[in-house]
Structure 1
Amino acid sequence: MDSDPLPSVAAAAGDATADQTPPRRAVCHSGCGRPSSVCLCPYLPPSPLPTSTAVVILHHPHAVRRNPLSTLPLLARSLSNLRLIPGRRLLPSSAPLIARSPSSPVLLLFPSPDAADLASWCRSTPPAARANPTLLLLDGTWKQAKEMHAASLPFLSSFVVPVSLPVDCGVDGDSMFESELVVRKGPHKGCMSTMEAVARALRLLEPEGSGAEIEQAMVEVLQAMVAFQAKHVQHRPMKPRVKMRKKKDIKKEEGMNGMPDWCG
């Protein structure tokens, strides 16, 4: 009968197994939640920034869990008057989460056909009629955001003011190598991350002076995040993509291979 391995042998085997297990990356758990090598805590505001605008974000359930480039965790650490709602649509049961009053409009920031330019809306609306507004955004991929918008409209259309920031649908979006604020390439020129959209909107909505300061503080965090990501991508070996061939091309090649050499 085989005897049990000696303690020294078992320990050595355990050490060998431990050496083969790749160590986990250190994570900044008490701050930004990102890997320590790309920690953004030095760029975050010392304390969340107060705003007169209430920012409410309906984010797709997969927005943070499956998207390592999500800006929502940074937003949560940058703004104090912020509420994150996980889900695929807003319903009447969501009403308590969205403050409404005659002097506090709810602005739905989404590039829909009927949306007014936010800057134009601010110029044409008296300050008393837009004091302490609620800024509502939808966070997810562009496909998810469109689905969330369509699913939420039956509830939102009765009270929200649809607004948007300039988007040029005739021009492709920039990549992170073309703009220091692009987390990932958007479908059109002007498409931006949720964090940048909030920063641009707060510049217009907050009282004169404070809006620009809030925007700048948020933009600096985003710039640092994009710089880290661009550096990582530049040093990562890229595997060539396998070109997918159509069935008709494969059949054509098979037919050519069966021909005599003189058929050219």
Structure 2
Amino acid sequence: MDLDFPVSFSVSDDEDAGAAATPPGRAICHTGCGRPSRVCLCPHLPPSPLHTSTTVVVLHHPHALRRNPLSTLPLLARCLANLHLLPGRRLRLSSTPLLPPPSPNPVLLLFPSPAATDLASWCRSTPPSARANTTLLLIDGTWNQAREMHAASLPFLSSFAVPVSLPVDSGVDGDSMFESELVVRKEPHKGCMSTMEAVARALRLLEPEGNGAGVEETMVSVLRAMVAFQAEHLQNRTVKPRVKMRKKKDIKWEEEMKRNAGLV
């Protein structure tokens, strides 16, 4: 059974998004952000988690925290009070009592899919009273993992969740951290973003009475600081070029072409 993951978890050493894997003996900010002290983000975090009328639920792949040093989930948990993290590969009725909600409040599945409506358009066409206390659902993992988790969860979600998305241009390559101050890793398409940035952009639209702008700016400033640490680390790091792996069929084809050309 997928259980509601507590947001007060402790970030392990290998979740250092501002440097490589944490070597033994490195000073860690255990009482705050959980990151190595030299890339501590505590000065950028809100004094206490922000309270929102929107309930944010994130289904994250079981490996998202243990094997992904650039996961934004630990920082997201320290920014939002009304956040629920669910480890698992799919959502079902037994996953959490939050879904489907006991009241008729809307559940928005934020995921780029052909069936998704632009979130800004949904907000404009939905009266504030009808979107009060919205539940925002996201899927976190690599893009391949997220697609699989989305497909596995649809049989359950399709009966009550409204698919929405933020603008993504699949015809244009995405930015890297050296081209954008908010990109954690190279994105596949223009407009793709980390889970933390997606939540920040969505809350700007969903939160009532203009509160969303302040929530967004606070979260974006934390993400901006994290990316700056990571970009600085990579710029100062000497990386050996990766040996390109070649398929046997390609090697065989090249040898055959050389033989036909009389080169071997």
Q: Same fold (TM over 0.5)?
A: yes
- 2:229 corresponds to: 228
- 1:238 corresponds to: 239
Is the contact made by 1:166 and 1:190 (CA closer than 8 Å) also made in structure 2?
Answer: yes
* 1:198 partner letter: V
- 1:101 corresponds to: 103
* 1:175 partner letter: S
Any residues of structure 2 matched to 1:199-214 within 5 Å, and which?
199-214=200-215
Instruction: Give the deviation of 1:252 after TM superposition.
Output: 7.2
Any residues of structure 2 matched to 1:58-69 within 5 Å, and which?
58-69=59-70
Is the contact made by 1:117 and 1:164 (CA closer than 8 Å) also made in structure 2?
Answer: yes
Instruction: Give the deviation of 1:247 after TM superposition.
Output: 3.4
> Are 1:57 and 2:85 an aligned pair?
no
SS in structure 1 at match of 2:43: helix
SS in structure 2 at match of 1:55: strand
* 1:186 partner letter: E
Identify which of structures 1 and 2 has the higher relative contact order when contacts are C-alpha pairs closer than 8 Å and 6+ apart.
2
- Distance of aligned partners of 1:30 and 1:129 in 2 relative to their CA distance in 1, 3 Å threshold: same
* 1:162 partner letter: P
**TM-score, normalised via structure 1 length:** 0.85
- Distance of aligned partners of 1:252 and 1:107 in 2 relative to their CA distance in 1, 3 Å threshold: closer
Cα distance in 1 for residues equivalent to 2:117 and 2:190: 18
- 1:166 corresponds to: 167
5+ long unaligned stretches in structure 2: 1-22
- 1:19 corresponds to: none
Cα distance in 1 for residues equivalent to 2:96 and 2:263: 73
The percent of aligned pairs where both chains have the same amino acid is 79
SS in structure 1 at match of 2:32: coil
Is the contact made by 2:128 and 2:208 (CA closer than 8 Å) also made in structure 1?
Answer: no
Structure with bigger gyration radius: 1
* 1:38 partner letter: V
Cα distance in 2 for residues equivalent to 1:109 and 1:64: 20
**TM-score, normalised via structure 2 length:** 0.85
SS in structure 2 at match of 1:107: strand
Is the contact made by 1:59 and 1:140 (CA closer than 8 Å) also made in structure 2?
Answer: yes
Cα distance in 1 for residues equivalent to 2:263 and 2:146: 54
Number of paired residues? 240
Is the contact made by 1:167 and 1:191 (CA closer than 8 Å) also made in structure 2?
Answer: yes
- 1:13 corresponds to: none
* 1:205 partner letter: L
Any residues of structure 2 matched to 1:1-264 within 5 Å, and which?
23-98=24-99, 99-102=101-104, 104-247=105-248, 250-251=251-252
